[in-house]
Chain A
Amino acid sequence: MTSVHVSDIEPQDVLIVLRHPPHGSHWLREGIDVALVAAAFGQRVGLLFQGDGVYALLEGQQSGALGQKGTHPQLAMLEMYDIDSLWVSAAALSERGLSVDELMLPVKPLSAEAVAELIQAQPHTLIF
Chain B
Amino acid sequence: MLLHLLNRSPQSTAVYRDLGEAFGVNDQLLLIEDACYAALPAASGVLAAFGGRISVLEEDLVSRGLAGRVSPAITVVDMKGFLALTETHERCVSWF
Q: Which of A17, A51, A116, A125 contacts B91 (CB 8 A)?
A: A125
Q: Are B95 and A116 in contact (CB under 8 A)?
A: no
A-B contact count (CB 8 A): 42
Neighbouring A residues of B93 by C-beta, 8 Å: 119, 125, 127
- Please classify the interface of chain B as helix (H, G, I), strand (E, B), loop, or mixed, using the class held by over half of its residues: mixed
Q: How many residues of chain B have a CB within 8 Å of chain A? A: 16
Q: How far is the CA of A120 from the CA of B95 in the complex (A)?
A: 15
Q: Are A116 and B14 in contact (CB under 8 A)?
A: no
A-B contact pairs, 27 of them (CB 8 A): A17-B22, A19-B14, A19-B15, A50-B18, A50-B21, A51-B14, A51-B15, A51-B17, A51-B18, A52-B14, A89-B18, A91-B21, A92-B18, A112-B21, A115-B21, A116-B23, A116-B24, A116-B25, A116-B27, A119-B2, A119-B22, A119-B93, A124-B91, A125-B91, A125-B93, A127-B94, A127-B95
